[in-house]
Amino acid sequence: MLGLPDPDDVRLRDGLIAGAEPALAELYDTYGPVVFGMALHVTRDRGAAEDITQDVFVDLWRRPEHFDPHRSPLRSWLLLIARRRGIDWIRRRDARESVRLATMDPAPTLLEDDVLASTARKQVRKAIADLPAPHRQAILLAYYRGLTYREVAKELDIPEGTAKWRLRNALRRIGAQLRAEGFEDRLNFE
């Protein structure tokens, strides 16, 4: 499914394996915002997001061989780890506080004004905001809360088939809108 590894990812990983500090700094400067942003978005807690960001980068620095450029691009890999850690954090917190998972629509946070947001990011946010509400709810629960489509179905009280279809359709709609706006496979968000 994947093509050849990204040469930049391979170069960065080699640098990290060799213990080169400039590679560490480049890694943080390139991906710090996506990792921190994802952790912040999932946890909505600045302290937790900073802790998660630190853990993600320190872990990769300690064991760069855990990242395999043949499996996924570095950006996707870091995003996945930041997201998982964020989801772990909210689950631990919810367990502590016995808070039932709220069925709120997290969209408002997603659309929070961020003066630093690039046009590309704004376009993505708009594509999510433009989704029909049921689609948006499903994708946000699955993506940022880590629910399986079955849990999404239960949470929204809809059939499982509907939940699956909404996730697929939501991604397709976002993809179609962004491609129409000129997004291509390799996109520079910086």
* DSSP of 59-127: HHHH-GGG--TTTS-HHHHHHHHHHHHHHHHHHHHHHHHTPPPP----HHHHT---TT--HHHHHHHHH
- Tell me phi and psi for residue 44, to 5 degrees: 55, 35
Q: What is the footprint of another protein within residues 83-122 (CB under 8 A)?
A: 83, 110, 114, 116-117, 120-121
Q: Segment near another protein (CB under 8 A), from 5-13, 88-96, 97-105, 123-131?
A: 123-131
Contact between 170 and another protein (CB under 8 A)? Answer: yes
Contact between 66 and another protein (CB under 8 A)? Answer: yes
How far is residue 49 CA from its own chain's centroid? 13
Contact between 130 and another protein (CB under 8 A)? Answer: no
Which x/- pattern over 16-55 shows residues binding another protein (rule: CB under 8 A)? -xxxxx--xx--xx--xxx-xxx-xx-------xx--xx-
- Of 12, 48, 90, 124, the one binding another protein (CB under 8 A) is 124
* Residue 101, number of CB atoms within 10 A of its CB: 13
Q: Give the residue carrying structure tokens 């491609």.
A: 179
Angle at 47 between CA 28 and CA 146, to 5 degrees: 80
* Binding residue count for another protein, defined by CB under 8 A: 76
- Of 8, 11, 58, 103, the one binding another protein (CB under 8 A) is 58
Contact between 171 and another protein (CB under 8 A)? Answer: yes
- Of 73, 107, 134, 158, the one binding another protein (CB under 8 A) is 73
Q: Which of these, 158, 128, 146, lies nearest to 83 by C-alpha position?
A: 146
Contact between 63 and another protein (CB under 8 A)? Answer: yes
d(C-alpha 40, C-alpha 120), whole Å? 19
Shortest separation between residue 7's beta carbon and another protein, angstroms = 18
Contact between 187 and another protein (CB under 8 A)? Answer: yes
Q: Segment near another protein (CB under 8 A), from 4-12, 64-72, 93-101?
A: 64-72
- Tell me phi and psi for residue 69, to 5 degrees: -65, -15
Contact between 174 and another protein (CB under 8 A)? Answer: yes
